[in-house]
Structure 1
Amino acid sequence: MSVAIENFVKAIYNNNIQDHHDTKPGNIAKKLGISNAAATDMAKKLASKDLLKYEKYQALQLTEAGTKMALNVVRKHRLWEAFLFKLFDMSLHEIHREAELLEHETSDFLANKISAYLGNPKFDPHGDPIPNENGEITTEDHSISLSNAEEGKSYIISRLMSDDKEFFDFCALNGLKYGNAIVVTKQFSKNKMTQITINTNTILLNEDFTNIIYVNEA
């Protein structure tokens, strides 16, 4: 399949499963940086290949075949992120950028070799689950967004759901990494801000950050 098709089904999967955003063609177009007309044309093309279900003005839904394809691309992307992070200690933004390119040039054979070399990891460095070679995510996710965390409780960062360089730069500077412990010291519900303590440092975060940082109770 072409890179454009793989990116299209992956975008639908990510919007629907990960980000909980609308999967109408206009939103997929915005995510991919293409025109609405191009997204609609692609949706119709993939519907004819039984990779998704298309109805005018409705959200796009992947078929079983489309979901399998998306998960295969996601698997390769996240394995490359884990590989690059482990071997070269690259930043979270850098590994995401490179994995976007490498995922389309990777055979299933090579993906399985990378996975075995890494010890068949369940999560990538962002905390996102890595599908197995059968396209299955075998881990359970009980994490909540930092904006929904309770005051006075300790948490472990479980997921950083972004691909924005400035977000990752901020996280790196402040120790906000997958697996690190934090304490929620105050929730400012009216102003939609959260105060946390990490490594004896106090940080105040707005909802743009707290909605994409996920945590589990420590």
Structure 2
Amino acid sequence: MSVSIDNFIKAIYKNGVDEKNDTKPGSIAKKLNISNAAATDMAKKLATRDVLHYEKYQPLQLTEKGTKLALNIIRKHRLWETLLYKLFDMSLFEIHQEAEVLEHQTSDDLAKRINAYLGNPKFDPHGDPIPDEKGEIHTSNHALTLSDSIEGKTYTIARLMSDDKEFFDFCALYGLKLGSKIMVTNQFQFNKMTQVSINNNTLLLNESFTNIIYVNEINQKQEDISNSNYKLF
């Protein structure tokens, strides 16, 4: 497979599991910054290889073969992100950019070795699940988007679902990272904005941010234990 094919089927898979996106050729073209015609031509080509199902004006659907190929690429990408983050303490944006290149040059055997070295991680530094060598995801993440969180409740950040440098620069500036505790102080439904408190900072986030920040609720028992441990140490 070529880099362009890898990126095409990966984009279809990722859009397919994101309910806020779709897999129509035009949407995939926009994601990959290619023309609609180029996306349609690629879809027709891959349909003849049993990688996807193509029907004019309809969303693209990966076949079983196509899904396994996509997950294998994603596995290599997320393993590289995890390794780079562990070894070099690179930023979340930097590890993504490097993994975009390395994923295409990585054999299945090397991916297996990286996975063993890392101790078989289930999630990468962004909180994204890492498929196993069979292209399967066994972990479940019940996190909800920050935009769907409830005013007055406290959460921990479970996933930062983006590849945008500006977003990650903002996260680094205010300490938005996996495991960070964040309290939702206001939900402005009409304006689709969320006010949160984190690291003694009050932030007002718009929907473009809150839709890609995933959180898990901290229940009162967990909060009490956390506070108790804090007092002890």
With the length of structure 2 as denominator, give the TM-score of the two structures. 0.92
Unmatched 5+ residue regions in structure 2? Answer: 219-233
- Counterpart position of 1:192: 192
Matches within 5 A, 1:35-50: 35-50=35-50
1:204 to partner: Cα distance: 1.1
Residue 156 of structure 1 aligns to a residue whose secondary structure is strand
1:20 to partner: Cα distance: 3.9
The answer to whether the aligner puts 1:6 opposite 2:32 as a matched pair is no
Matches within 5 A, 1:135-154: 135-154=135-154
- Counterpart position of 1:128: 128
Residue 122 of structure 1 aligns to a residue whose secondary structure is coil
Identity among equivalent pairs (%): 72
Moved more, 191-200 or 38-47: 191-200
- Counterpart position of 2:118: 118
Matches within 5 A, 1:55-70: 55-70=55-70
Looking at structure 2, the residues matched to 4 and 191 of structure 1 have their Cα atoms a distance apart, in angstroms, of 39
Cα deviation digits, residues 133-178 of structure 1 (max 9, x gap): 1111111121111011001111110111111100000000001101
Letter in 1 for 2:112: N
- Counterpart position of 2:210: 210
With the length of structure 1 as denominator, give the TM-score of the two structures. 0.98
- Counterpart position of 1:183: 183
Over aligned residue pairs, what C-alpha RMSD do you find? Answer: 0.9
1:19 to partner: Cα distance: 5.7
Moved more, 206-215 or 54-63: 206-215
Letter in 2 for 1:23: T
The answer to whether the aligner puts 1:168 opposite 2:168 as a matched pair is yes
Letter in 1 for 2:147: S
Residue 8 of structure 1 aligns to a residue whose secondary structure is helix
Q: Residues 157 and 201 of structure 1: is their aligned pair in 2 closer, same or farther, counting only changes over 3 Å?
A: same
Looking at structure 1, the residues matched to 200 and 26 of structure 2 have their Cα atoms a distance apart, in angstroms, of 44
Moved more, 15-24 or 101-110: 15-24
Cα deviation digits, residues 17-45 of structure 1 (max 9, x gap): 14641101111111111111111111001
Residue 158 of structure 2 aligns to a residue whose secondary structure is strand
- Counterpart position of 1:96: 96
Looking at structure 1, the residues matched to 121 and 103 of structure 2 have their Cα atoms a distance apart, in angstroms, of 17
Letter in 1 for 2:34: I
The answer to whether the aligner puts 1:81 opposite 2:81 as a matched pair is yes
The answer to whether the aligner puts 1:201 opposite 2:201 as a matched pair is yes
User: Quick check: which has more Rg, 1 or 2?
Assistant: 2
Moved more, 59-68 or 190-199: 190-199
Cα deviation digits, residues 39-68 of structure 1 (max 9, x gap): 111100100000000000000000000000
The alignment of Structure 1 onto Structure 2 pairs a total of residues equal to 218
Q: Segments of 4+ in structure 1 off by > 4 A?
A: none
Looking at structure 2, the residues matched to 200 and 172 of structure 1 have their Cα atoms a distance apart, in angstroms, of 15
Looking at structure 2, the residues matched to 112 and 157 of structure 1 have their Cα atoms a distance apart, in angstroms, of 28
Cα deviation digits, residues 40-97 of structure 1 (max 9, x gap): 1110010000000000000000000000000000000000000001111111111000
Letter in 2 for 1:105: Q
Looking at structure 2, the residues matched to 160 and 108 of structure 1 have their Cα atoms a distance apart, in angstroms, of 27
Looking at structure 2, the residues matched to 9 and 141 of structure 1 have their Cα atoms a distance apart, in angstroms, of 23
Letter in 1 for 2:131: P
Moved more, 11-20 or 64-73: 11-20
